[in-house]
Structure 1
Amino acid sequence: MNLVFQEIVTVAMVLFAVIDIVGGVPVIVSLKQKHGKIESEKAAIAACIMLITFLFIGEEMLTVIGIDVYSFAVAGSFVLFFLALEMILGITLYRDEETNSASIVPIAFPLIAGAGTLTTLLSLKAQYQTINILIAIVLNIILVYIVLKSSSKIEKVLGKNGLGIIRKFFGVILLAIAVKLFAGNVKALFV
C-alpha cells in the first residue's frame, strides 16, 4: 500500500472528466424539474458502492470471461477517446434510453457510474495503485454529492456557456488520457 499524491490527483482528474458531473448539471436540473426531487445522498452512495465494487471484482469478472486487464485497458482507451470527442465536439455518439424515474437508476447509473466510468476504473487499475484509485473515487463521490445538492445554483452561476467551456476543457484532458492509456497498455498485448 503506497499512497502517491500525484497518482491520486491524476486518477481523480480522470474520473472527474469521465463522470462529467458538472456537464451533467443540465440533465440533473431537467430530472429535478420532471420529478420534483433528487435524493442526492442515495445517488452518491449507490454510485460509490458500484464503483468500489467494480474496482475490486471487475478484474475477476474479466478473468471469468477470458479477458486480460491490458486488453480491457486498450478497449477502455477507445471508450474514453469517444467520450472525449463527445465532450469536445458537442455530439452524441452514445445515447441512453429515457427513464421515467429520477431515482438511483438514472443518476447513480448510468450518469455517474456508467459504462465509461467502469471501463475507466479497470483501465486505471492497470496503471495505478488500487489505494490511490479508491481515494480518488471517494473524492469524486464527495464532489458529485456537492454538485447534486447545488445543481440549480451551479447552472445559474456558470450559465450554458460556462458549462460548455468546462465540458470542452475536460474533454481535451480526457482525450490526452485516452492516448496515454492506449500507449501504456497496447505494448503489453504484443509481449
Structure 2
Amino acid sequence: MQLNFKEIFTAFMVLFAVIDIIGNIPIIIDLRKKVGHIQSEKASIIAGVIMVVFLFLGKSLLALIGIDVNSFAVAGAFILFFIALEMILGITLYKDTGDGGMTASVFPLAFPLIAGPGSLTTLLSLRAEFRLENIIVAVIINVILIYIVLKTSVRIERFIGKNGINIIRKVFGVVLLAISVKLFTANIKALF
C-alpha cells in the first residue's frame, strides 16, 4: 500500500469541487424543511459506500447493464437540471413519499446530490490517474466533511439568515444548472 499525500490531496480537491457540499447547503436546508429530519450519518455513509463501490465496480457494472459512462452522465445531468430548476424557480418537483427523512437521506441527498453522476464519473477518471488507496482516502475525507456540513446545516442557516439562504439558493441553482448543461453537452457528443 503506497499512500501518496499529493495524490490524496489532488483527488480530494477534485471530488470536493464536484460534490460541492458547501454549494449544496441551500438544497440540504430545503430538504430539511420539506421532510423534517435528515439522517446525516446515514446520508454520509451511504454516499461514501456508493462512491467506493462505484470506484471498484463502476465501469463493469455499467457495461453489464449495457450503459456507457456517457449515457450515465447524461441521465445524471437531467436529475441535476431538475434540482436546479427547483432551486431557481422555487417549485417542488421532488415529491416526498411519506417516510420523511428516511428517503430524503438516500434520495436525493446521498444519491444523486453527493454521490451523483458528476462524482461517480470523476471517480472513474481519477482511477485512470491515481492509485486506488489514495482515491479511497480522498473519498473518506470528503465523506467526513459532508457529515460535518450536514450536521451543522441548521447552524449555518442561522448564521446566514433566511434572505442569505434564498440568495445562495438562487445563485447555486444557476451554478448547478450550468454544471448539468456542461455534463450534458460534454457527454451527449460521445453518444452520437
| TM-score normalised by length of structure 2 | 0.71
Distance 2:76 2:83 in 1: 10
Report the alpha carbon displacement of residue 55 of structure 1 after superposing the two structures with TM.
Answer: 3.9
Q: What SS class does the counterpart of residue 58 from structure 1 fall into?
A: helix
1:121 to 103, 115, 119: 119
CA-to-aligned-CA distance 1:65-92 (integer Å, 9 cap, x gap): 1111112222222222222222222222
Equivalent pair of 1:25/1:151 in contact (CA under 8 Å): yes
Corresponding residue for 2:155?
Answer: 153
Q: How does 1:35-54 map to 2 (within 5 A)?
A: 40-54=40-54
Paired residues of 2:86 and 2:92 also in contact (CA < 8 A):
yes
Contact 1:23/1:164 (<8 A) preserved: no
Which residue does 1:109 correspond to in 2?
106
In structure 2, distance between residues paired with 1:134 and 1:182? 27
The alignment status of 1:79 with 2:79, answered yes or no, reads yes
Conserved 8 A contact 1:12-1:139:
no
User: Match of 1:13?
Assistant: 17
The answer to whether the Cα contact below 8 Å between 2:22 and 2:149 also exists between their aligned partners in 1 is: no
Which residue identity does 1:161 align to in structure 2? N
Which of 49-58 and 3-12 deviates more?
3-12
Alignment of 1:17-28 (within 5 A): 20-28=24-32
CA contact (8 A) 1:51 1:113 kept: no
Structure 1 pair 112–138 and aligned structure 2 pair: CA distance change class (3 A): farther
Segments of 5+ residues of structure 1 without an aligned counterpart are 33-37
Q: Is the 8 A contact 1:11 1:133 kept in 2?
A: no
Letter in 1 for 2:150: L
Task: Among all aligned residue pairs of Structure 1 and Structure 2, give the percentage whose two residues are the same amino acid.
Answer: 45
C-alpha spacing 1:150/1:41, structure 2 compared with 1 (3 Å): same
Deviates more, 1:68-77 or 1:48-57: 48-57
State the shift of 1:161 in Å: 1.8
Counterparts of 1:178 and 1:134 in 2: how far apart (Å)? Answer: 26
| Cα distance between partner residues in 2 of 1:180 and 1:7 | 21
TM-score normalized with structure 1 length: 0.71
Name 2:58's counterpart in structure 1: 58
Q: Give the total of aligned pairs.
A: 181
Structure 1 residues 176-185 or 117-126, which shifts more?
117-126
Deviation at 1:188, TM superposition (A): 1.6
Cα deviation, residue 96, structure 1? 3.6
CA distance in 2, matches of 1:82, 1:39: 23
Summarize deviations over 1:1-28 as a string: whole Å, max 9, x none. 9949777545423312698244312543
